[in-house]
Structure 1
């Protein structure tokens, strides 16, 4: 069943629900595809479904954990060495590895969201202070943006469209 943002929910609950709804859409875009289809670059820039999931895992850890001084655990990429490495799945990374990384990132982010208040401040990678509220809005937007990319990539692979299972 598709998650909904509460029509009259509290602000934090609503922001979290918006993020989580888009996270579910990201995972739904992967259903029913084999490893080759998940890894297949479908644009000139090399965008693949699995690469977008890896990128979103890194974004969750960066924005929720690093910003608020929490550990990220090991990252399966090195942006200092290659600024696009979070968007590519290496041959030695399995689909299960990427999905496990995304699940770990989501769980870590969820813990930060649970523990902090919306007005609590952290320091973004570019040096400015940002609130948890801002990070939640940013990550809901970022996740929705990439879920939209995934919708197009999925349609190119097998014609399937939509953002959630309607059944």
Structure 2
């Protein structure tokens, strides 16, 4: 029986991780919206009309307890950070593919980045339970994954040019 799952040591799926990274980046917004509407019993129409003002709307909302308010604001910040890092990740994956890095390297580093971003979102949102150093550490793991792909791509390209 044929398996439909890719062999991560042989099959390059790294380009598919870019849309997954986008989904991971947007998930804190969905968390923030659902938390806001559940806690306030209000429509999210004002947020839909002015999505960039969501943090201010949450900050000014009198119907939220402080813990919930802070989690919503941090979820919005996690979402912004995810989109700020998405270009770096996409460029690193593209550079690795252009240089012809091994599928196992591309897949491993790309999946590690995705995992670091999922952990980053969780740590950032629930920062009232975890120290901020944990958020910083997971951030640098993700950036480190990107830099590793750039360096490996550069090394491979340099060898082929010499």
Q: TM-score, normalised by structure 2?
A: 0.32
Higher helix share: 2
State the structure with more CA Rg: 2
